[in-house]
Amino acid sequence: MSLLETLAEQEARLVFTSFDNEVALALGAFLLQAARERSLPVTISVRRGQQRLFHAALPGTSADNDEWIDRKSRVVDRYGQSSYRVGESFRASGKTFEADSRLDPDRYAAHGGVFPVNVAGVGLVGTVGVSGLPQADDHAFVVEQVEKFLATT
């Protein structure tokens, strides 16, 4: 399976049955606990629509990580796919997101780390993401934690 196929499969599989403020807070706390256990230098964000419902910044992060999450979240909001998948789609076609998307790179970043929150029968309702690790690691951490979280609900 190619990376793009894997990324698409993750999005198809990791779907919520519902998503409200309480679920968002629980999801954020779940990621925070896992990041603390691993001493990861990440910023965590969970949003519903444009509203940030959970935000935490662990030691080793800076305001730059907040900006990265905002930029990656805008990509997910616009394309309805993980920020990593969008960037990989451009790379797989021999292009770069920065040069070929026609979007302001100061506002949009197609780098791994922000994942769509899709609700069954509804579609995209929000985002969950981290910033602070290499992009593939940011993405892998979010996917791993969303998968574990969904298994507990």
d(CA 89, CA 122): 24
Apex CA 70: angle with CA 64 and CA 75, to 5°? 130
CATH of the domain at 45: 3.30.450.150
Beta bridge partners of 16: 119
100 exposure class (CB count in 10 Å sphere: 0-12, 13-18, 19+): exposed
CA dist 31 to 50, 76, 108, Å?
A: 20, 19, 23
Q: Note the pTM of the prediction, 2 decimals.
A: 0.95
Mean pLDDT of 117-137: 97
Q: What pLDDT was estimated at residue 106?
A: 95
Mean pLDDT of 38-58: 97
Q: Which domain holds residue 65?
A: 3-152
Please tell me the total count of domains within the chain: 1
Measured in whole angstroms, how far is the alpha carbon of residue 107 from the centre of its chain?
A: 16
Residue 1 has pLDDT above 90, yes or no: no
